Structure 1
Amino acid sequence: MGLLARLARAVLSPRSLDRDRTLAAAERLGALTHLVASLELLTRSADRGPGGPNDWAVTRRRLDDRGPVARRVLAATAQPGTATVLHAARAASAVFLLAPTDRLRRSRAAANAIIAASSVGTFPGHVYGTDGSDQASFLVQATAALARSSRQPRVADAALWFLALQSTLNYTASGWVKMVSPTWRSGRAMPGVMRTVTYGHRGAWRATQRFPRSSTAVGHAVLALECLFPIVFAGRGRLAPLFVGSAAAFHAANAGLMGLGRFVGAFSAMHPALLYVTDPRRKQDRSDALPVAAAVVAAAAFAGGMAVRARRRRAVATPRPGVRRMTTRAGNELAYTVENEHATGPVIFFESTLSATEFHWEWVRRPLSEGFTTVVYQRAGYGASVLHDREPFTLGSTARDFADLAAEVAGDRPVVVVGHSLGGYLALRSAEELGDLAHGVVLVDPNHPGGTARSTRQADSAKDFENVLGYVLPSMRLGLGSLLQIPHSFDRLPAELRATAAEHYRDNAMWSAVRREWSAVKNDFDGRLPKISAELLVLSASATVEEDTVQQELHRELGATGNGATFHVIGESDHETVVTDRGRAEVVAGHIAAFVAGLTERRR
């Protein structure tokens, strides 16, 4: 017992270097990563030539979305010839930092600055061959440059605190992102990673098969290490050596098994700072102003985020001019917009997919509204529509709400339902609920309830969406909606609607509705297809049916659910652009107009 106690004290006793040595250790570990990276990229200069993975004629297109000044500067620094010079300068600066030049404060500050600046300049020209280690070591060198630029100890302490907090954030975020994945929670992740071509290791994979319980335990240990990393600051730093040592061992194992050698130096470069700021023996001489300021800023940011979330919810929940409301038999309030209300003939309703706004139909709706009555609505929980129903939610609930809306707006006029993606399947369910009032259904690149079981591509997309929901919804609840990246498809919407559409997309209530609907999809998508009496028009995006031939069969089966079907492929379109790109959407609208006109003729 005495030996175990001494061992525990040795492992859990806080220990660190002094301020100057801590900064030097961080610099050297980061510099080592940059040196290796630059030497690797310099020896692979052919990669930047014609046909190479970093062919500048191709990679320079990544700068198209930058501002004109940034585009010119980065284009100049990332060109192959200039990049070679910058890599040489970065390597030379790294060698200088690795040498015993600790007393040359200004020179080391300049070397750190050269490494940081050259990393920014060369990054656009090296899409392949760079990774998270480059970003981590960039932060180390940029922070060290700031620390060396002043003689004030509190500046160096602020820099070290920044590195320590950044390191903690890196591990914690990585852990909680893994936590939302069922694969990691179940312990299946380790065998899966070891089996991949890019990061796999045959021997390690065989070990996971031979010792599955140990493999699961290792996976759960990684989760625990990363998710619980903030407790390094608890207990007067007693756990910091254990967590830092475990993290270093984790990176070393990844280097040996997965080939991630640069990660060892890049992320370990922040470890000395962690040990320094958690060591109570350094507290008397250490300035701890930065974490206090960070806590104040974080609290203010949280309060601001919650205020913005509340303001956004009020704005989105307030119907825009021309938007009407109706209450369904379940008590839900649906917001909808009617165009060309007094036209004769069928009423065309639009059913959106998951996490799409009503504005995604705009380029399809506008030309159709010239000759037909069109209705775009928001399902309960989206936008200004409110869910009041307390019964368990199913896709049938949505179909019943839609039937009530159709009765309210169309009366005894015939109905045509147009649905995109999952909205296509919902359109079929709604038509089944409407019965003979539904004369036609248009499926725009629809989802099939058996698609995830029969299409690997669709199954992968479903897994990706599940993972996205796992971290987006908690982030929205914490008031981080303003940080949610808006999909590129929003850039193709009418300019005057993009800002409003983005507000709807960042609304916390919408993502709660998405989660509710996704759960219902998983329960209801059992392969069963509705059977309806309406005629069908199936419009497939060319990329969907060409890149995944299973989709052709699935779309044919969906078309067979009604009383005859017409099929068209929309050329040069994918799952999103088929409705959001103006040119493709107008082609879709033309097919719908011809289909509805044909329905009217055949019904006479």
Structure 2
Amino acid sequence: MHQHKQMDPGGLNDWEIMKEAPETKNPTIRRITEAVSGKKVTVAIHAARAAVSVGLLAPGNSKWRGAGSLFLTASTSLLQTRHRYGTDGSDQVANLVQTATGLARLSKNPQTKDAFLWYVGMQASLSYAASGWVKLLGEKWRDGSALPGVMRTRTYGFESAYRLTQRYPRSAKYLQHSVLAMECLFPVVYLAGGRLARPMIAAAGGFHVANGFVMGLGRFMTAFPAMHPMVAYTTAPRSHPLVAGRDDRAVKAAALLLAGGVAAAAVVAAQRRAVVREGWPTSRKFVTRHGNELVYETGGRDDGTDAPVLVFCAGLTSTSEHFAWITERFVNDSDCAVLSYARAGYAGSVRRTTAPFTLDESVDDLEDLIRATVPGHRKAVLVGHSLGGELIRRVSARIPDRIAGLVYLDPSHPAELQRSERQSEGAKDLRDNIAHAARYISLGTGILMSRPAWLDRLPVNYRDKVFAQYTDARLWKAGKREWAAVEEDFRSFDGDMPQVAAPALIVAAQQTVDQDPEQLLMYNELARVHRRGDVRIVEGADHDSLLTDVLFAYRTVQHMTDFLRATGSGHSESVADGEGAQR
């Protein structure tokens, strides 16, 4: 209410900006939020919330207190889209507590009241434990550097506290690890007959008070401790007179629901794994020199024409189906044949070798596949996206007589981790993200994954299979293995790329080169390695939408068709003429 000017045009909460939030895409939510978007209505709701909050601070235990709690929950949700800036975990916890206590106060059944109190108590344990274990996965939280790092930030930092961490680094490390221990072990409040409740609640409360003063998280100081009375109530032994007759069936119900969820997750994971391993009705298999079993698909003309075979090699943690818009276009509208495959460990392909993985293994596999599947009277045009671009460059040097050209789609460059600050800084985050995904999905959490927006831009008949691959731990384990090899290989690159006899086309995404100008320099350098190389930029595209967005994919097809025609490899102009069928 004090900052009501932020609702004026140009303010942080200008409705003309806030209404573009993803939640307002739902027509019902949009109509409701539009009704309260006016400044006067919004301020009136905030005034009502303030009045009800003051009323809740007054003593008493009437039903009106329950109604007031539910009003605060409902109005918070109503204004969520109107005031997205500033909402945080404290608001979520406050909503949880207000909803549960409001419903408990309005209920006439003691068992129902206990169920709601148990719900808050279990949510408290879950919130602390989840926060602690997630922090524990971060290297900075384990080595003790996270606390000083936070204290020196502009948003949450506190200069005096930061100086203390530098003056007493060992004490700062002990403090940080103590917080981790408190969060990770908070569920032990339910052990030892409740005797651990007081010290754990005191530790958690002290943690929030310290955060309130040091980090400015004042709302956390009130929101999270609001769960502590429920924790105290549910941890007390049933022999205690204040909890006599407490109904503890909520714990058994939660355990049954958890067991059911685990079982459902296992079933879904097994079903998706079966879909992934099954492949397509047209899938074929090939065993490489390493014993790896590769699954591949072919399409297009195979009637004696000498038009090239386009061999597609996907990027890191990517699928061969990412090329669907491009491969379908060439299959339907050109003389070229198409071959796409999954590297060992992806989709239905199996890595059987037990040798340590290097990028040469993937290059060997691709070389064997080309020699075995591309007819002798036809040459191959290798098409690689991201990491796939580096793999096709390496394999082209081994079989120059079988290669008619190379098409790089926003490719990796072997020097990118040395020359690009952006790529180098992002390497660790990428490594951590892939490792976390592999670990969590292996535990069955794939059932919790939501469909990424880019997936629903692929052709309809590919989407479910691609989603099954992304919720399968095999893809992430393969990606983790590959990225470790990429980092080792790229960071030791000596800067010398051998000349390649075949011509090349580099198709770059505009956002890639705009965000990192060094990438364009490396793309031009890659073009000069070839006998003839050309760089083309697809305006508006980013690294992934270059393939997954039909408009950008068809522009990529246009560039590829021009390249094939210029090199004498293309036999049909129909692919280049069909951009009118983009949508």
Q: TM-score with structure 1 length normalisation?
A: 0.88
Cα–Cα, structure 1 residues 344 and 238, in superposed 2: closer, same or farther, change >3 Å?
Answer: farther
Query: Partner of 2:272 in structure 1?
Result: 312
Match of 1:383 among 347, 361, 379: 347
- 1:373 aligned partner: 337
Mapping 1:177-576, distance limit 5 Å: 177-280=134-237, 281=240, 284-342=244-302, 343-369=305-331, 370-371=333-334, 372-412=336-376, 413-526=378-491, 528=493, 530-533=497-500, 534-576=502-544
Change (3 A) 1:79 1:301: farther
Q: How far apart, CA to CA, are the structure 2 residues paired with 1:323 and 1:344? A: 23
- Aligned-partner Cα distance in 2 for 1:402–1:381: 14
Q: Is the 8 A contact 2:111 2:247 kept in 1?
A: yes
In the alignment, residue 555 of structure 2 is paired with which amino acid? V
For structure 2, list consecutive stretches of 5 or more residues without a partner in the other structure. Answer: 571-583
Equivalent residue number for residue 590 of structure 1: 558
For 2:330 and 2:24, the matched residues in 1 are separated by 33
CA distance in 1, matches of 2:401, 2:12: 57
Distance 1:237 1:76 in 2: 48
- Residue 283 of structure 1 deviates from its aligned partner by 5.6
Q: Deviations over 1:495-522 (max 9, x none)?
A: 2322222112112222222222222222
Q: Does structure 1 conserve the Cα–Cα contact (< 8 Å) formed by 2:346 and 2:478?
A: yes
CA distance in 2 between counterparts of 1:183 and 1:433 reads: 43
Asked if 2 retains the 8 angstrom alpha-carbon contact of 1:63 and 1:124, the reply is no
Give yes or no for contact 2:417–2:491 (8 Å, CA) kept in 1: no
Secondary structure at 1:335 match in 2: strand
Residue 341 of structure 1, CA deviation: 4.0
Kindly tell me the number of residue pairs found equivalent between the two proteins.
559
1-structure distance, mates of 2:38, 2:369: 59
Deviations 1:350-370 (A, max 9, x none): 111222222211112222232
Residue 12 (structure 2) pairs with residue 48 (structure 1): no
Equivalent residue letter for 2:546:
V
Which moves more between the two structures, 162-171 or 461-470? 461-470
Note the C-alpha offset of 1:286: 1.4
Long gaps (5+) in structure 1: 1-41
Contact 2:404 2:569 in 1 (8 A): no
Q: CA 1:389 to 1:256, structure 2 compared with 1: closer, same or farther past 3 Å?
A: same
One-letter amino acid of the structure 1 residue matched with residue 30 of structure 2:
R
Letter in 2 for 1:80: K
d(CA) in 2 for partners of 1:381, 1:471: 18
Q: Evaluate the alpha carbon distance shift between residue 575 and residue 601 of structure 1 in structure 2; reply closer, same or farther with a 3 A threshold.
A: closer
Q: Distance in 1 between matches of 2:109 and 2:60?
A: 19
CA distance in 2, matches of 1:450, 1:222: 41
**1:222-280, Cα deviation, whole Å (9 max, x unpaired):** 22222222222222222222222112222122212211111111111111111221111
CA distance in 2, matches of 1:427, 1:257: 53
* Larger RCO of the pair (alpha carbons < 8 Å, separation 6+): 1
- 1:144 aligned residue: 101
SS of alignment partner, residue 72 of structure 1: helix
Equivalent AA in structure 1 for residue 309 of structure 2: V
C-alpha distance in structure 2 between counterparts of 1:433 and 1:224, whole Å: 54
Deviations 1:143-173 (A, max 9, x none): 1111111122222211111111111111111
Conservation of the 8 A alpha-carbon contact between 2:309 and 2:338? yes
Instruction: Evaluate the alpha carbon distance shift between residue 162 and residue 564 of structure 1 in structure 2; reply closer, same or farther with a 3 A threshold.
Output: same
Q: Say if 1:78 and 1:124, in contact at 8 Å, map to a contact too.
A: no
Contact 1:577 1:584 in 2 (8 A): yes
Task: Check 1:311–1:596 CA distance in 2 against 1; reply closer, same or farther (3 A cut).
Answer: same
Query: Aligned pair 1:61/2:23, yes or no?
Result: no
Q: Distance in 1 between matches of 2:74 and 2:471?
A: 34
Secondary structure, aligned partner of 2:80: helix
Q: 1:309 Cα deviation (Å)?
A: 0.8
CA-atom RMSD in angstroms: 2.1
Cα 1:435/1:194, change in 2 over 3 Å? farther
Deviation at 1:74, TM superposition (A): 3.0
Contact 2:23–2:29 (8 Å) recurs in 1 = no
Partners of 1:554 and 1:219 lie apart in 2 by 42
Q: Using a 3 Å threshold, how does the CA distance of structure 1 residues 579 and 271 change in structure 2: closer, same or farther?
A: same
Per the alignment, residue 580 of structure 1 pairs with 548
CA 1:454–1:229 in 2, change beyond 3 Å: closer, same or farther? farther
Instruction: Please identify, of 374-383 and 210-219, the stretch whose mean Cα deviation from structure 2 is larger.
Output: 210-219
Report how far residue 308 of structure 1 moved: 1.3
Q: Which amino acid aligns with 1:252?
A: V
Query: Identity of paired residues, percent?
Result: 38
SS at match of 2:491: coil
Question: Tell me, what secondary structure is at the counterpart of 2:413?
Answer: coil
- CA gap 1:285/1:454 in 2 versus in 1, 3 angstroms: farther
Worse overlay, 188-197 or 135-144: 188-197
Deviation of 1:207 (Å): 2.2
* Mapped partners of 1:408, 1:364: distance in 2: 23
Q: Shift in Å at residue 597 of structure 1?
A: 2.6
